[in-house]
Structure 1
């Protein structure tokens, strides 16, 4: 994965997915004896083929206070996957170790394809290597290039779109072929068209809709994650699952570039061993009995391999503690998070997506509150309308009076403004300045744009109007 420079809009460093391209030489050895059990006691280096319960490497772990050991057909042992009822978006705009495309998880009957998701190995995966690339600011097409209208919004660069589109379209074509091979009443696996639809629309949004830098990066990572899961799902259905019942396959070391799974089920270990999918078989240390283990290593820590710092402005998504519920949260996470800032929101950050109750910034005094609602005293003294004019102080009181009393349809005399044409002076003098309502089908005496006096000058009030005008200028034009 790439590293990018630290800034407020796109925090760094980005440390995504390095565990999935692990160099076996970087795995550290660990003591073989734990609680009086020596995992290397029955080691046989001359054995030609390891069985499903043996381990090329093994590791000691503690699960729920129970001392366990893990055996695997790979050369490393990733740390145990996380648990909890919330998933968090991290500063690389990915879901961290909760994401099964970034970190192995326990085997699930509902999502049995997670172990077949591709993992990053090296440049030899040129056809889909873009799915492990981290977007940065230099990939963000901003207004100074002339390709977008609004300041602060932009799109993914055309070069990156051109790199993402071909593998996505090839995978969608493969999905279409799989779906079309079913005749009623047979149906494809429901998750296939769901992921295909999400992938198709995710790429369309990247190509069509401007967004902030963070939201653009989130759109890219969503397309990448959906692509990898859909790729693994199709491989599981069409390649690996049919091989599970092939008794002629003898298995062996993992030779497939996929993520793999944790399991405590011997049947799953046997099946994954047979088709050479990576697996990590967890058992209590008391169950150790003549397993041939070649090496004992330390589990890899996701803290050193993934970006775990939580990004600001994106509340966690709360669901349930099970793996299936967390996967569902990730599936709907990108569609739940807003593409733009909600103009109707109260302005307070929600604690979670499911519980958007705003929290007061400070505790109100007892004198100003009645039970369940604000008292009249509190409403009149503490609440302020959003467009109330600030009360002038002694320094600008005379200036504000000048703005209030001046005839806004008279020519504004200032050295910063060019002299008006005689015809324009006459037109302004002919305007009816009598009081009229500002509503109705045809209101009069209303400026569509701020009058020149508001944007000419050097005082703080004029500076404020100039600042607001610059923010909305593109939209007005």
Structure 2
């Protein structure tokens, strides 16, 4: 390069053509030279040797606020839609496909439209949740499928192997997330956009390793028909490194070179063009409609920016935990005023020396030294507890002074709430209310919502509200209005994305049957689902409290405790699994879930020694003993952690008439009859 005098910012502002003093139109360009160029600011000059899109404004500044726009991208700071400074740790980002190159991949560049959004339940009193129209989701999944196959079927070296397989795993999880969960429309668009992000980044890694990196190293040549310009469909990169510029130009990846302004008099620039900012290319700047905060503040070159984007993307897949939002305070209450009635009469547990009705027990019973026990409700409409778990609950000393915290509320209503009412009319009202609220209440169990647990009494109030206004004699006093206002606050924590609509007059339904014509088996199925969903949510919450591990292996173990379980979708319960898993009548079918739950609990603080040892083979008696041990340990630990009795798994006396494909689990029969081998412990 020549040593001509420097050009000042003022001189170049008055006469930009001074940049063209070394122009040589028509001759080959080096990567750092400019087919076109322009001054960016008083300190920098921008050129490109191969980008046919012209000059793009680099994301400059140390305190850039990275926030999501209305298209669920990060505008100029998003590597999916705008070139970013070259990152040695992420060289594949410049190879992201900016535009669609094949029709089959078009769904990766389009967000769901409102016309393709299907409301989840027209009879629901909670408005907002819905799903993506089935055909559109199928096209989207088919667009992702070849990328997943290429990722999982290829031969990769580290560190790329781990990155590729991890992204493919999360891509599968997102597809299942979008397919399974009821989402509000904007939340659906966000999840689809994040799925697209994973798919496009995964495709870029594969393209970089199989196409562009070999060209950069000279192992393969770029097809002569492509010319010297960069591939228009690639995002490209900004760089200040001449080696990077040469390699990317050789591979056909668009590059924009940033020079210090003092070099302006020494750089070949053939033409001067204006620098285009995101507005010129219709990159949205309006914030997204969802309530989101900036995910990062810093320079575009910060590696922390990419980690923040990655962290936010994966956060959509977190397991819901309503118990993590509020920690009940352990308050010291003042002494109550004297009362003529014994307050022990109204305690929720069995008391030593008193019957369930609060009356003194006979002396013969007092001599046994009874301790406080939890009441177990039995009813013909309430599916029975699995025997091991009932015994586990009965083994707990339910003295309410034992737990170091106040009692937590419930994520969903307790199933026994529906069978302990005073009249058939109230029971019918509560079942109808639950069916009208069910889908919306399940939809609020998502990672980005913060629903609070509710007390047993508040759930009773919510379910006894006359949502259809069928009770002409309902109270209209101030006390009733206060209770109604409290009940309507049960959607707090959902960022106003879910709303209550009391004007809907359609009856709730269960599997196509209206709430007014439900059979006894229908009611049992409803209560079984409620018990199972509560149990899974509480099990996950206790695991998050006690687990000393949060890695992928442990998360996988949590899911394996339940039929077709996914650790982040435990609240999505399949009715067909009612008598499978822990409830199966055959011990060989129960065993895989019992052993998985034991391995999961081994990661909990305070796990007893009885759950810590493995055996070469297991008999039916061994499995039953382990089942009882984990049930007893769970009930005791839950009570001491959350201050109340857990909601436990139940089994149905009938087989639901729904299609269900049982899960294949790995447990092999030993050579000796009556024993099995747990081969899953070596996975």
Are the structure 2 counterparts of residues 187 and 257 from structure 1 closer, same or farther at C-alpha, using a change threshold of 3 Å? same
Is the 8 Å Cα contact of residues 117 and 258 (structure 1) preserved in structure 2? yes
Are the structure 2 counterparts of residues 53 and 96 from structure 1 closer, same or farther at C-alpha, using a change threshold of 3 Å? closer
Matching residue of 2:135: 159
Are the structure 2 counterparts of residues 252 and 150 from structure 1 closer, same or farther at C-alpha, using a change threshold of 3 Å? same
Structure 2 residue matching 1:233: 3-state secondary structure? helix
Query: Which of 77, 81, 97 is 2:55 aligned to?
Result: 77
Query: Which of 301, 304, 307 is 2:284 aligned to?
Result: 307
Is the 8 Å Cα contact of residues 51 and 229 (structure 2) preserved in structure 1? yes
Are the structure 2 counterparts of residues 292 and 32 from structure 1 closer, same or farther at C-alpha, using a change threshold of 3 Å? farther
- Tell me how far 1:61 sits from its aligned partner: 0.5
User: How far apart, CA to CA, are the structure 2 residues paired with 1:206 and 1:164?
Assistant: 10
- Tell me how far 1:291 sits from its aligned partner: 3.9
User: How far apart, CA to CA, are the structure 1 residues paired with 2:231 and 2:294?
Assistant: 36
Matching residue of 2:105: 128
- Tell me how far 1:343 sits from its aligned partner: 5.3
Query: Which of 262, 269, 274 is 1:293 aligned to?
Result: 269
User: How far apart, CA to CA, are the structure 2 residues paired with 1:451 and 1:223?
Assistant: 40
User: How far apart, CA to CA, are the structure 2 residues paired with 1:118 and 1:292?
Assistant: 29
Aligned 1:230-379 pairs, distance under 5 A: 230-246=202-218, 252-289=228-265, 291-304=267-280, 305-311=282-288, 312-318=290-296, 321=299, 322-337=301-316
Query: Which of 78, 82, 85 is 1:103 aligned to?
Result: 82
Matching residue of 1:53: 32
User: How far apart, CA to CA, are the structure 1 residues paired with 2:132 and 2:108?
Assistant: 15
Is the 8 Å Cα contact of residues 173 and 317 (structure 2) preserved in structure 1? no
- Tell me how far 1:169 sits from its aligned partner: 0.9
Aligned length, in residue pairs: 354
Aligned 1:376-387 pairs, distance under 5 A: none
Structure 2 residue matching 1:288: 3-state secondary structure? helix
TM-score, normalised relative to structure 2:
0.45
Are the structure 2 counterparts of residues 475 and 188 from structure 1 closer, same or farther at C-alpha, using a change threshold of 3 Å? farther
User: What per-residue deviation string (whole Å, max 9, x for no partner) do you get for residues 371-416 of structure 1?
Assistant: xxxxx9xxxxxxxxxxxxxxxxxxxxxxxxxxxxxxxxxxxxxxxx
User: How far apart, CA to CA, are the structure 2 residues paired with 1:51 and 1:139?
Assistant: 49
Which stretch shows the higher mean deviation, 255-264 or 440-449?
440-449
- Tell me how far 1:457 sits from its aligned partner: 6.3
Aligned 1:420-459 pairs, distance under 5 A: 445=422, 447-448=426-427, 449=430, 450=464, 455-456=471-472
Is the 8 Å Cα contact of residues 35 and 47 (structure 2) preserved in structure 1? no
Structure 1 residue matching 2:257: 3-state secondary structure? strand
Is the 8 Å Cα contact of residues 86 and 316 (structure 1) preserved in structure 2? yes
More helix by share: 2
Give the unaligned 5+ runs of structure 1: 1-30, 348-375, 377-433
TM-score, normalised relative to structure 1:
0.63
Pairwise CA RMSD of aligned residues? 4.2
Are the structure 2 counterparts of residues 217 and 248 from structure 1 closer, same or farther at C-alpha, using a change threshold of 3 Å? closer
User: What per-residue deviation string (whole Å, max 9, x for no partner) do you get for residues 283-307 of structure 1?
Assistant: 0222135544332222221245222
User: How far apart, CA to CA, are the structure 1 residues paired with 2:322 and 2:256?
Assistant: 48
- Tell me how far 1:440 sits from its aligned partner: 6.0
Is the 8 Å Cα contact of residues 191 and 316 (structure 2) preserved in structure 1? no
Structure 2 residue matching 1:34: 3-state secondary structure? helix
Which stretch shows the higher mean deviation, 464-473 or 329-338?
464-473
Q: Indicate yes or no: 2:169 matched with 1:197.
A: yes
Matching residue of 2:118: 141
- Tell me how far 1:153 sits from its aligned partner: 0.7
User: How far apart, CA to CA, are the structure 2 residues paired with 1:207 and 1:451?
Assistant: 32
Give the unaligned 5+ runs of structure 2: 1-9, 327-332, 334-356, 360-373, 378-419, 431-463, 489-499, 516-683
User: What per-residue deviation string (whole Å, max 9, x for no partner) do you get for residues 194-213 of structure 1?
Assistant: 11111111111111111111
Are the structure 2 counterparts of residues 301 and 460 from structure 1 closer, same or farther at C-alpha, using a change threshold of 3 Å? farther
Q: Indicate yes or no: 2:184 matched with 1:212.
A: yes
User: How far apart, CA to CA, are the structure 1 residues paired with 2:184 and 2:319?
Assistant: 8
Is the 8 Å Cα contact of residues 51 and 232 (structure 2) preserved in structure 1? no
- Tell me how far 1:247 sits from its aligned partner: 8.5
User: What per-residue deviation string (whole Å, max 9, x for no partner) do you get for residues 114-162 of structure 1?
Assistant: 11000116xx53121221112222221113679x996421111112112
